[in-house]
Chain A
Amino acid sequence: GAGVSQSPSNKVTEKGKDVELRCDPISGHTALYWYRQRLGQGLEFLIYFQGNSAPDKSGLPSDRFSAERTGESVSTLTIQRTQQEDSAVYLCASSFRDYYYEQYFGPGTRLTVT
């Protein structure tokens, strides 16, 4: 079946601009996660959505970062007033939390802030 998809695959933006990244999780997956991966480093948790519960935003690095999810489907991660340190690959994952523990990752969006 279809996996997690993300768009765009690459985004180049100027410092100070806002960007919006999109994630389409696997159908039926109630949990959705956003991570950030800087070049050569491990994953950094950003935010977690589970069903209709309030999202866990504990990983968001600043108030410039926000995310929304419509029900149990699409999610968007928005970065306002981008800075050069925001340059990274942004990864989305989903999981069928009730019965499975593994997370399925999308291919990521490579964000470059110039």
Chain B
Amino acid sequence: DAKTTQPTSMDCAEGRAANLPCNHSTISGNEYVYWYRQIHSQGPQYIIHGLKNNETNEMASLIITEDRKSSTLILPHATLRDTAVYYCIVHNAGNMLTFGGGTRLMVKP
């Protein structure tokens, strides 16, 4: 699976959009980009995934660059409950996940 690079931490004001970047320059053609998050003391939670097209669901939007070497997860209106560690993962679908360090997002009032 391709390696990903994310900032260690980010802050966001409550009600504003949170934009979390991820670099995955070694991604291969059949690898998907997944985002999960882990709120303190809970199991990870799936957010969204995509291959090459931008995706949107009730939780977030995923923007993948045309060359697929990077992506951005967008939480359109961050709330205090969105404070968590966000993991960007690139791998072949269906099998085990490899979580790196992730980005610790702190949403502040």
Contact = CB atoms under 8 A, between A and B. Distances in A.
Interface residues of A, number: 22
Interface on chain A toward B: helix, strand, loop, or mixed SS? strand
Contact of B97 (A43, A104, A106, A107): A43
Nearest to A95: B94
Interface string B67-109: 0000000000000000000010000011111111110000000
Interface stretch (B7-15, B16-24, B37-45): B37-45
Size bracket of the B interface: 10 to 19
Nearest to B100: A42
B26 to A, nearest CB: 18
Per DSSP, are chain B's interface residues mostly helix, strand or loop, or mixed? loop
A108 B43 contact: yes
B97 A45 contact: yes
A35 B99 CA distance: 10
Contacts of A4: 43
Interface of A: 4, 31, 33, 35, 42-43, 45, 48, 56, 59, 91, 93, 95, 97, 101-108
Interface of B: 32, 34, 42-46, 49, 87, 93-102
25 contacts: A33-B97, A42-B98, A42-B100, A42-B101, A43-B97, A43-B98, A56-B96, A93-B43, A93-B44, A95-B94, A101-B32, A101-B34, A101-B49, A101-B93, A101-B94, A102-B34, A103-B97, A104-B46, A105-B43, A105-B44, A106-B43, A107-B42, A107-B43, A108-B42, A108-B43
